[in-house]
Amino acid sequence: NESCTFKTDGAFSDGGFDQSFYLETARKGSVVSRANSIGSTSASSVPNTDDEDSDYRHETSLKDSYKDRRRQAHTQAEQKRRDAIKKGYDDLQSIVPTCQQQSEFAVGAQKISKATILQKTIDYIHFLHKEKKKQEEEVSVLRKEVMALKIMKTNYEHIVKAHQSNPQQGEDQVSDQVKFDIFQSIMDSLFVSFSNSVSVSSFEELSACVFSWIEEHCKPQTLREFVVRVLRQINVQLY
């Protein structure tokens, strides 16, 4: 209140209102106002270092978190790959018979090496290829035999049909007993010559005598004459 009273009193003098004093006071107030405004503006334009530090720490944290996630993903992928390889070796060891046999004879906790498992697997695959080729050859032989049997079956069916259509045609056929008698007579005669010609003192001598007997008593002309003689004997007995 005193300052106000002082200023008011200074504005008036004995001669009346002092205009110069009023102008000076207004000028000083305007300067002070502008200074305060500049100070406020300068203070507001100063950068906030706390906010910048917070943003930097946040950005660094995001980068570290991204690196950690990539590292974890890489670790998981690598572990998955190793597990798949280990499972593959375990499956091979359980499938390949030679690996199973070697694992049974392994001492203590000793395990079969991966190189051994791969080599045993390769050997087993080669063995399977050979077995497959052998079986294919056997199947081919069996198919030929089946084809031959089918042909024989067809021929026998034709014979049966022909016999059924002409039943009197087979009245003159000989019995199975007659066929057996003929075969027995032939074999008995051959055995007599075989027994007289072949020695059984040793296997070497037996082998040599057998070939000699075949060359002497089993010639086509000799067998033909012998069979004719047997047939004549049987014919005399029957008729």
Q: Are 114 and 89 in contact (CB under 8 A)?
A: yes
For residue 79, the number of C-alpha atoms closer than 13 Å in the C-beta half-sphere is: 6
Question: Mean pLDDT for the chain?
Answer: 75
Q: Domain limits of the chain?
A: 60-162, 176-238
Residue indicated by tokens 């045993």:
120
Q: What is the pLDDT of residues 7-37, one digit of tens each?
A: 444 444 444 545 555 556 655 555 555 555 5
The topology (CATH level 3) of 60-162 is MYOD Basic-Helix-Loop-Helix Domain, subunit B (4.10.280)
- Pairwise pLDDT comparison (75 vs 31), residue with the higher score: 75
Query: pTM for the full model?
Result: 0.39
Rounded to whole angstroms, the Cα distance separating 182 from 192 reads 16
Residue 2: band (very low, low, confident or very high) from pLDDT cuts 50, 70, 90: very low
Rounded to whole angstroms, the Cα distance separating 227 from 182 reads 9
Q: What is the CA radius of gyration of the chain?
A: 62
